[in-house]
Amino acid sequence: MTTQTDSSTPLVDRYINTWNETDAMKRAELIRTAFADEATYRDPLLAGDGQEGIDAMIRAVHERFPGHVFTRSGPVDRFANHLRFSWALATPAGETIVRGTDFATLDGDERFVKVTGFLD
């Protein structure tokens, strides 16, 4: 069994940074780099389709949770083009209010093409 945790961690950290980027221009650029054109995101609360749909979804999270920050929690688990990693969302005061685990498939350019999130 091959694990590729080290090489995938920057990909996931860029993905997390995308969720945290409040500057619209910077976020659009991060999304183009991190997500495939046809990317989809689904979790129990959110949905986004395509780069623009994902951008709108993240913007809505910032409006709902201003100043909150996502962080990766724990290592990245990968085989082939499949990733698993956990995350936490904290208030500006640093209190974690949501934890989740995302499962993602990468395309041939190592961009996120399908993400399914579960809440922990």
| Direct distance between the N- and C-terminal alpha carbons of the chain, in angstroms, rounded to an integer | 26
Distances (CA, A) of 90 to 70, 73, 105, 110: 6, 12, 26, 28
Q: Which of 14, 28, 43, 69 binds a copy of itself (CB under 8 A)?
A: 43
Q: Which of 52, 82, 92, 97 binds a copy of itself (CB under 8 A)?
A: 82
Q: Which of 23, 25, 80, 109 binds a copy of itself (CB under 8 A)?
A: 80
Nearer to a copy of itself (CB atom), residue 32 or residue 99 = 99
What character string, x for contact with a copy of itself (CB under 8 A) and - otherwise, covers 85-104? ----------------x-x-
What character string, x for contact with a copy of itself (CB under 8 A) and - otherwise, covers 6-35? ------------------------------
Q: Interface residues with a copy of itself (CB under 8 A)?
A: 1-3, 42-45, 77, 79-80, 82, 84, 101, 103, 105, 116, 118-119
